[in-house]
């Protein structure tokens, strides 16, 4: 039963073949048994989860269920949830209990989903391997000596190991798609502005976007149906009618134009990954899609541009963690500045401090024009490249990550190598576009590989349609890691 | 050497919105600490700002009132610095693209009009307050004020004396209240000025090095601080020294400014556009609809008072120093049915003195415009003399009723009946034979003494001109 998708579980619940309490106990049991070896969760709360499950059962009994009612889920630990610790994987917020709910958390509560826990993550979502968490690295269920990707590594690993049917994540530079690729799960990052950022602890405000992990594209559509929608508390939330992301899942792919960016298929891409992605594209063609080569001429600038803009915003966003009102405060200090210095030196890990320093530097007087302003200009060029490409195609396909999961510790001493993990995902964030990753085979060491699909603005339904049709013809997404039974 | 003083002012006007600029918390003054600080105001992780439309509308009102350009697109930026009463570690302000740019304010100094140009006015949020007194060895933080909307109004360095700076500040203070965007309460910090002051040799085109003076929460302090600062800078330069660009704090106890931080210590605020807020776009239609609600502005009213009522520039400026006073004056003129100069004399004289004594605005005057108009009419028609009318005014202020009732009750009606005056004069002549003799012997002074006796006998109610004429006739 733990291997079922949301839609399959929902019909069990609806038909009273299982109760939410049973389901919740099942997954809580799996977490208790398997998570010690994975470290996917920072907080699990059985009591709250079971209370939620019983409320869902009452709702199911009254026939007032939504597709998510009674389904156990997990939130990445940067979504504020009232009464829950919300740590962002940081010592700075290790004991912070949120007094309010994020919009996303509220939406899942309203839908009747059962929150079982908060998942591990790179500290403040800064990382591509989940090794920067204050709570220790998350292990990849496919090989526990390897990383699950990041920053939403906990959510990815939890879904991959079937500890929850689905989980939320956030994607600032690839933090959903890259871990989805590395863990053989399906993950989507919607268009910037589709999901409210209210209550989602900010890393880089202009790039952050909430999204979801699931075991299928169809589940991702169900998750988006809950998460997405206008929220007046987020000024960057886009006011548009609520849509059903599952509405065109069944559409055949005949006539679909798939763009293949020539900059994605180069020597930077590992041959095993390239082989899986190429095979996946062949499957789309077999279903009637046509391919067209497109070009994203500024692709090479995406990573450098990102590592100016994201740290700049982060350096300011993280200023509120000053030890004054909440969070960690150094025990001993001489004066105010000493308190700030010690609190932040103790509270933030090395990667966060590195990005705060970089961000502070690029915004400084005399450097702003050369770095921040220049990066913003190139960012517009990158977005324009996509607009140009979408004139010739409906979706863009390519790899989500350049390699399969790498061993824990391999890239921690070389930040630039780590940053290149997001080579194929970052430009999507810079352009504000939606992107997803679905499993498309296994590469070296029998590790999963993801196919990335990039859509035009607010074209999630079409992307999900393509992914779903692909999943109808393949079973990569149904494979689960060994030893999780 | 002759020195020219150059002054520019930066004014923070707290906008009179019910809620904060980026959150729904109340902006009311004086609540218990931290009771008006929401999740957004205390900057909990994950919260986001949402712009208050009312704050923007007030900025538009200001822009319209000073003839400025209202930007079709302006941008909120983050000003980054650490301080315990700045919860986010940055203040949301406007930097490169402010909502209002240009415009000017007309001031009147010694009866002469002068134009002070404005550089810009931008929207921003206030910080909280650090309380250093009540916590032994610690500081308290009150975030009630954090997020209160401010309009920072920056003038060009167009003022040439402390007097001009004060006139500008007062004019601006009056204007923001006039157009209903700020309550102007200086004690509560709703209207605060920082002054940029420099000096240069008279005739020089080059600006001297300026100092910014902070903590000027009254017009008096503004004047004193500038005067002090000018003396300090001139003495420094004349002693062969140089003015250092720095921020200085006015110390009202000592009556001096002292250095707070030098330019070298100034923060690098690392301004950048706030990614949590979209650029502020103001459509022409919005500006037009705000324009439709604008009252006649004090400058226009002042010109009208001079042109239509024949008032002097200074009197017209005083009458338009507050909307309430101007409205009071206009109502008196309307009820009297003209005679604006007589009305102005009463409003600027007895009424203003009363209002200042009671420390109230004209709209809270114990003597209503109708009551004053009733009195002015009685002066104009000769029922009471100007001197007696002041007594009546005081009685009205004390709540004794309308002018006519007081005049009747106290018997203050001017005696103008010739027969009655003649009888009084006869009495006085009979009782003052010596003065009559002196007068007849050529002592002119005796005549004045006799007039005085007549006035005294009538308790001042006789029309003095009439008494004069009758006395002259009787003495032949």
Out of A202, A235, A363, closest to residue B46 by CB: A202
For the domain that residue A77 is a member of, what is the CATH number? 3.90.1300.10
Does A90 map to a domain?
yes
Distance from CA of B126 to the nearest CA of A (A): 16
Contact assignment for B46 to A372 by CB distance below 8 Å? no
pLDDT at B437: 85
* pLDDT tens profile A130-168: 999 999 999 999 999 999 999 999 999 999 999 999 999
A233 in contact with B at a CB cutoff of 8 Å? Answer: yes
Q: Which residues of B touch A235 (CB under 8 A)?
A: 48-51, 276-278
* Beta-carbon separation of A365 and B270 below 8 A: yes
**Domain-located, residue A297:** no
For residue A197, give the chain B residue with the closest CA: B46
Q: Decide if A468 is inside a domain.
A: no
CA distance B125 to chain A (A): 16
pLDDT at res. B152: 98
- What CA–CA distance (Å, rounded) separates B356 from B350? 10
Active site residue A315: no
pLDDT number for residue A286:
98
Q: Give the pTM.
A: 0.92
Chain B: closest CA distance from residue A360 (Å) = 8
Q: Tell me if A407 is assigned to some domain.
A: no
The mean per-residue pLDDT over the stretch A22-41 comes to 98
Nearest to B50 among A201, A233, A363 (CB): A233
> Chain A: residue nearest B77 by CA?
A316
Could you report the predicted ipTM of this complex, rounded to two decimals? 0.96
pLDDT at A390: 98
pLDDT per position as a tens digit, A417-455: 899 999 999 999 999 999 999 999 999 999 999 999 999
Across A463-482, average pLDDT: 98
Q: What is the pLDDT of residue B265?
A: 74
At B74, give phi and psi (nearest 5°).
-130, 165
Average the pLDDT over A351-358 and give the result.
98
Confidence class for position A191, pLDDT limits 50, 70, 90: very high
**How many domains does chain A contain in total?**
1
Strand partners, B462: B415
* Contact state of B272 with A316 under an 8 Å Cβ cutoff: yes
Domain ranges of chain B: 3-290, 298-410, 418-475
**Cβ neighbours of residue B83 closer than 8 Å, sequence gap 6 or more:** B127, B130
The residue from A175, A186, A196, A206 that is catalytic is: A175
Minimum-distance CB partner of B275 among A80, A201, A205: A205
Would you say residue A223 lies in a domain? yes
Q: How many residue pairs bridge chain A and chain B with CB atoms within 8 Å of each other?
A: 97
A206 touching B, CB under 8 A? yes
Q: What is the pLDDT of residue A400?
A: 98
- Residues of chain B whose pLDDT is less than 50? none
pLDDT at B410: 84
d(CA A105, CA A80) in angstroms, rounded, equals 7
* CB-based contact, A204 to chain B, within 8 Å: yes
What is the residue range of A120's domain? 6-251
pLDDT in tens, A271-320: 999 999 999 999 999 999 999 999 999 999 999 999 999 999 999 999 99
Does residue A125 lie within any of the structural domains? Answer: yes
- Hey, are the CB atoms on B82 and A197 less than 8 Å from each other? no
Residue A76 catalytic? yes
Which residue is catalytic, options A151, A155, A237, A437? A151
The arrangement of secondary structure in B418-475, i.e. its CATH architecture, is Orthogonal Bundle (1.10)
Minimal Cβ distance to B276: which of A205, A324, A372: A205
Contacts of residue B89 in chain A, CB cutoff 8 Å? 316, 318-320, 322
What integer pLDDT is reported at residue B65 of this predicted model? 98
């Amino acid at each position: 039963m733990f291997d079922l998708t949301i839609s399959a579980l929902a019909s069990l619940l609806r038909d009273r073949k299982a109760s939410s309490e049973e389901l919740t106990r099942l997954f809580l049991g799996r977490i208790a048994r398997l998570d010690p070896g994975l470290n996917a969760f920072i907080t699990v709360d059985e009591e709250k989860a079971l209370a939620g499950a019983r409320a869902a059962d009452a709702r199911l009994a009254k026939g007032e269920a939504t597709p998510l009612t009674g389904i156990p889920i997990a939130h990445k630990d940067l979504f504020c949830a009232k009464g829950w610790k919300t740590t962002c994987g940081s010592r700075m917020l290790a004991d912070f209990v949120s007094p309010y709910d994020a919009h996303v958390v509220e939406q899942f509560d309203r839908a009747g989903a059962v929150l079982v826990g908060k998942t591990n993550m790179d500290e403040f979502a800064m990382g591509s391997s989940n090794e920067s968490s204050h709570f220790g690295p998350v292990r990849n269920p496919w090989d526990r000596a390897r990383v699950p990707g990041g920053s939403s590594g906990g959510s990815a690993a939890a879904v991959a190991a079937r500890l929850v049917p689905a989980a939320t994540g956030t994607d600032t530079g690839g933090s959903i798609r890259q871990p989805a690729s590395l863990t053989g799960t399906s993950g989507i990052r919607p268009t910037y502005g589709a999901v409210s950022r209210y209550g989602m602890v900010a890393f880089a405000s202009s790039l952050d976007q909430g999204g979801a992990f699931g075991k299928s594209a169809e589940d991702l559509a169900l998750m988006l149906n809950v998460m997405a929608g206008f929220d007046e508390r987020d000024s960057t939330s886009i006011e548009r009618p609520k849509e059903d992301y599952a509405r065109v899942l069944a559409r055949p792919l005949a006539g679909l134009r798939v763009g293949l960016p020539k900059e994605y298929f180069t020597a930077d891409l590992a041959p095993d990954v390239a082989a899986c992605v190429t095979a996946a594209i062949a499957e789309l063609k077999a279903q009637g899609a046509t391919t067209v080569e497109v070009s994203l001429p500024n692709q090479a600038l995406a990573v450098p541009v990102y590592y100016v803009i994201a740290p700049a915003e982060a350096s300011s966003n993280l200023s509120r963690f000053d030890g004054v009102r909440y969070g960690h405060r150094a025990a001993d200090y001489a004066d105010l500045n000493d308190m700030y210095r010690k609190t932040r030196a103790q509270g933030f890990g090395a990667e966060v401090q590195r990005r705060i320093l970089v961000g502070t530097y690029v915004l400084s007087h005399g450097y702003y024009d050369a770095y921040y302003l220049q990066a913003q200009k190139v960012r517009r060029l990158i977005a324009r490249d996509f607009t140009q490409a979408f004139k010739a195609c409906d979706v863009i396909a390519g790899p989500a990550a350049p390699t399969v999961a790498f061993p824990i510790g391999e890239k921690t001493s070389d930040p630039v190598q780590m940053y290149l993990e997001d080579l194929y995902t970052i430009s999507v964030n810079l352009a504000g576009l939606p992107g997803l990753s679905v499993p498309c085979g296994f590469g070296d060491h029998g590790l999963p590989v993801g196919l990335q699909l990039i859509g035009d603005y607010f074209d999630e339904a079409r992307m999900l349609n393509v992914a779903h049709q692909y999943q109808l013809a393949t079973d990569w997404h149904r494979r689960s890691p060994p030893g999780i039974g | 050497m002759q020195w020219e003083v150059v002054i520019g002012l930066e004014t923070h006007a707290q906008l009179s919105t019910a809620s904060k600029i980026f959150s729904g918390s109340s902006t009311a003054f004086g609540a218990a600490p931290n009771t008006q600080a929401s999740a957004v105001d205390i900057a909990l992780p994950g919260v986001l700002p949402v712009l208050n439309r009312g704050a923007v509308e007030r900025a538009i009102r200001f822009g319209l009132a000073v003839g400025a350009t209202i930007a079709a697109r302006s941008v909120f930026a983050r000003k980054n610095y650490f301080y315990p009463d700045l919860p986010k570690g940055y203040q949301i302000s406007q930097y490169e693209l402010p909502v209002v740019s240009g415009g000017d304010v007309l001031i009147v100094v010694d009866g002469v009009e002068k134009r002070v140009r404005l550089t810009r006015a931008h929207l921003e949020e206030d910080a909280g307050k650090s309380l250093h007194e009540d916590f032994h060895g610690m500081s308290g933080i009150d975030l009630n004020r954090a997020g209160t909307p401010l309009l920072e109004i920056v003038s060009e360095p167009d003022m040439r004396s402390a007097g001009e700076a004060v006139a500008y500040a007062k004019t601006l203070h009056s204007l923001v209240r006039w157009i209903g965007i700020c309550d102007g309460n200086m004690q509560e910090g709703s209207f605060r000025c920082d002054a940029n002051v420099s000096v240069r040799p008279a005739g020089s085109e080059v600006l001297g090095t300026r100092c910014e003076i902070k903590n000027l929460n009254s017009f008096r302090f503004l004047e004193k601080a500038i005067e002090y600062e000018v003396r300090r800078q001139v003495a420094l330069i004349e002693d062969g020294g140089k003015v250092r660009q720095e921020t200085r704090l006015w110390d009202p106890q000592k009556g001096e400014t002292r250095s707070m931080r030098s330019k070298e210590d100034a923060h690098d605020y690392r301004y950048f556009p706030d990614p949590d807020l979209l650029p502020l776009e103001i459509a022409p239609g919005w500006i037009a609809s705000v324009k439709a609600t604008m009252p006649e502005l004090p400058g226009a009213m002042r010109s009208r008072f001079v042109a239509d009522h024949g008032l002097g520039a200074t009197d017209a400026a005083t009458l338009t120093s507050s909307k309430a006073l101007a409205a009071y004056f206009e109502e008196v003129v309307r009820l009297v049915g003209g005679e604006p100069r007589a009305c102005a004399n009463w409003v600027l004289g007895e009424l203003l003195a009363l209002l200042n004594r009671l420390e109230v605005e004209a709209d809270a005057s114990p003597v209503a415009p109708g009551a004053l108009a009733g009195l002015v009419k009685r002066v104009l028609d000769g029922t009471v003399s100007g001197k007696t009318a002041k007594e009546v005014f005081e009685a009205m202020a004390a709540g004794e009723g309308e002018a006519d009732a007081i005049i009747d009750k106290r018997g203050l009606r001017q005696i103008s009946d010739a027969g009655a005056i003649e009888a009084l004069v006869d009495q006085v002549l009979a009782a003052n034979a010596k003065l009559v003799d002196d007068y007849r012997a050529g002592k002119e002074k005796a005549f004045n003494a006799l007039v005085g006796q007549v006035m005294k006998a009538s308790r001042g109610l006789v029309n003095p001109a009439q008494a004069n004429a009758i006395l002259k006739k009787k003495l032949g």
